[in-house]
Chain A
């Protein structure tokens, strides 16, 4: 792809300490005609096979979801980035992100689909032996079989490695007997295959197994009664002397936790992509409703308060789109790079994804929180109809909520991104220390003010972004230095640091996307996008200011605190922008197009 030819390699987390050029990132608008056609075919699938039958899906009608998976399989939607030799299409990672994005509009099915194609299929593809892949992948990719993933247990949720499910070798050495209870298992009701995590004998770490339903010894509870995604099957699964042939162990003994973690990286970024389709669906309903519904003799879309919501929804979605596809391409490029250097394709995929675990977590948290904002305002724009189960907003609102909980709760993901960053710095993989020290020095020196050439697009925002990164380095650096090992116990500070990281990644991604778009289409055609960047920048400044102040106040005192707070002020300075005016312009454009047009 020409757009990424001259890309400088970037490491996961490195965005905090270096700048990126617009041409170095992938943007949604870069998708080819072929990829768009795939997305559009997927939309046709949703329109014809899912939308008319939502009721049946939501009632968990026997066989319905399984049949849908089969139909998706016939269309080739279940193995987008799995090689053709296993029945997949061998398309890029970002293509599978695009399909996850479109599928996001299907609520319950998006979870069914995500569990099957992600946490169900990927463990086998990434960690299976050639025999295991040949045996299982074609069946799963064609949709003949449905897959589920059994990690969580009643006593082991966020603390997944605490699982008690046991695997014991039979005296003849041919089987493992699985015993234990799993909980919250998506697709359990109709799955033919389960990826099960269990501990062998007295092992400390989990091992993973491919378990066929037909092995026996598997029973289930009734379907869970859930707040949302009611049309996706979720059950408790019990293993009672379930006899698993030894050759069905995945990877090596005690490597299960590693598998779980690596698979979740992909799950997280895909979830981030999946919210986009849901966002767009909700926004389109909201925009159309705002154009139709009249009160006080006017359409509600003509009211400033509603315009504010519409525009802000668009900004939120623009943010997650920009971040998700950028991270997706970074992963893909890293994989290609590792392969070029001789790593085998599977190892390259694992290492490439792992490299961007920080970004995967950011995209997951950002995406699920943007979705929650959007569905909340979607309900509000619909007024009483938003509360009606006969209108689409109510379901969207309920369906959205799970995104902040599964694939690692947002708290766990926030901790993970900070923890991983610090570990990488400690290991010397990322040099955070020198820039952090430079910032510390800058604090006590006389500030120099560059004069910005404001005729250049985003001159101010680029300058701001640099300073926001400094704010992060200042607080993060100081926190690590003064709290050291104790930082892990100061979760509130970690949450603050994570929030700052997320804001920075989103701002940078949106800005670079817009810059790239301007280069493609000209500034005149991108006024709305430019406006969205400014609105995000304005919001990011106050969020970072707030998070920063809270953190600094918590672990510093006296003169040091004063200096840091002053530094924070300097780093978060952004000339006022008339966000009300910009939001109105964006809202007017949405209303005129009668849809989210970006």
Chain B
């Protein structure tokens, strides 16, 4: 048995498992009862299990629990607290942009486009729509094909984030 200590959505956590190669996704789902990261393929091919590891999007379905020891894990549930940006509904501005654009059908994929969109906008401030459309990609699937609204939502968020910077927020 091995015990690993890490942070989940701002809270210190420890977990003891018999197999250090247990995927992070199953730990988040079973031990921490999280609904945000979702199993889609287990192969790092779709993005439904995406979480942020120290702020960087990763696939929790192929991430061994041992490799998150000492690190910080953030799922959709913890995104608003991460930046301290939360509206009355507890939504981060990029999540609110997805609501504003009604950018979901089943929504099962949302961890992927929201967290990759969040990281892309953070790392590429001022990116154009075309850059977002091409850049938020890479084994990332919305099978309901709500892609156009999801790109709209990320663009809306990016514009808001830029405006915030211009106003010295």
The reply to whether chain A is a binding partner of chain B is no
